Amino acid sequence: MALDRWIALVILLISLTYGYAAYFTMDAGLPPFMKFNAIWPSTFPKVLSVLAAICALIIVLSPQKGDSGPKVGDIDHRRLGDYKLGQALALLALMVAYALLLRPAGFLISTVGFLTLGAVILGERKLHVLLPIAALAAGGVWYLVQEVLGIFLSPWPIFFGVGG
């Protein structure tokens, strides 16, 4: 089986598990007044799991073309060492660190750090351009979420004593 089919099979299993949780476990704790609503908190996860399962099934069950070897743009799983796995793993580690630091370091510091370090990992070297752009992007997103949408998002670290 080709690599894309294996990935689709894994996505199918994940979406089936996610769908099971959405259909059978999320709605059990709903208060009685919410059971008459047209849209429940589990509506989007249900739709998402069904769409992901359909897309994965299309990939898994589609007829396989003759194996003439990998084409120019295809990923060859026998040559994974030739790809930039170090960058990909570093970005994954950076995403985990961002998620863990978001609350203690605050949104602005952790987001500017994530954007800056992510761009450096991907090869950007002009820090005098990168830092202001990352700061403007983080500040703009914080302003939209906090002020426009009205969702509290702590901008500074916990030890500053501003929210938390």
Residues 141 and 92 in one domain: yes
Which amino acid, residue 152?
F
Residues 89 and 156 in one domain: yes
For the beta carbon of residue 138, count every other beta carbon within 10 angstroms: 21
Provide the number of structural domains found in the chain: 2
Residues 89 and 152 in one domain: yes
Q: What is the pLDDT of residue 149?
A: 83
Q: How far apart are CA 146 and CA 142, in angstroms?
A: 6
For residue 80, being part of any structural domain is answered with no
Q: Which string of b and e fits 96-115 if b means at least 16 CB within 10 Å?
A: eebeebbeebbbbbbbbbbb
Residues 149 and 91 in one domain: yes
Q: What is the pLDDT of residue 75?
A: 66
Q: Which domain holds residue 105?
A: 85-160
28 Cβ contact partners less than 8 Å away, ≥ 6 residues apart: none
Q: Tens-digit pLDDT profile for the chain (164 aa)?
A: 677 888 999 999 999 999 998 888 877 777 777 777 777 777 888 999 999 999 999 988 888 766 566 566 666 667 777 778 889 899 999 999 999 998 899 899 999 999 999 999 999 999 999 999 999 999 999 999 888 888 888 888 877 665 54
For residue 126, being part of any structural domain is answered with yes
Residues 46 and 91 in one domain: no
For residue 78, being part of any structural domain is answered with no
Q: Is the pTM of this model over 0.85?
A: no
Residues 127 and 98 in one domain: yes
Residues 90 and 140 in one domain: yes
